[in-house]
Amino acid sequence: MSQANDDSTTATPTDHSRVFRAGPAFARGELEVATDIANAIHDEWRVVITMGPFRGYNIHYNIEPESRIVHLDFYSVRPAAGYNRQQVIADIQKGIQQAQDL
């Protein structure tokens, strides 16, 4: 999923029923991004957030069709900036659709 060594097996719930955190929690806009993504995808999919320093990107996502999880990994300094949120949502929706078509 990322360069991180985050433990994504332990997820902490958030205020959104399908968004979870795996790792440290920040309040820099990543939850809002994850919530927008969760609201834009099918109800049976969950979103898991990880974040940390030393990322070569602001956001990276990985789609796991078997478990119906979208992993979002954020650079902790700029988790909600430096990319087009609507484009990320569209890419994730396309990836989910392609995974379901297999």
Domain-located, residue 10: no
Residue 11 counted as domain residue: no
Of the chain, the percentage scoring pLDDT greater than 70 comes to 91
Residues 78, 72: Cα–Cα separation, whole Å: 13
Pairing of the two strands 12-13 and 19-21: antiparallel
* Closest-CA residue to 95 (of 55, 40, 51, 26): 40
Total structural domains within the chain:
1
Rounded to whole angstroms, the maximal C-alpha distance in the chain is 37
**How long, in residues, is the chain?**
102
Rg, the chain, Cα only: 12
pLDDT in tens, 61-99: 999 999 999 999 999 998 999 999 999 999 999 999 998
Within a domain: 7: no
Q: Tell whether the model's pLDDT for residue 2 goes beyond 60.
A: no
| Residue span of the structural domain in which 92 resides | 17-101
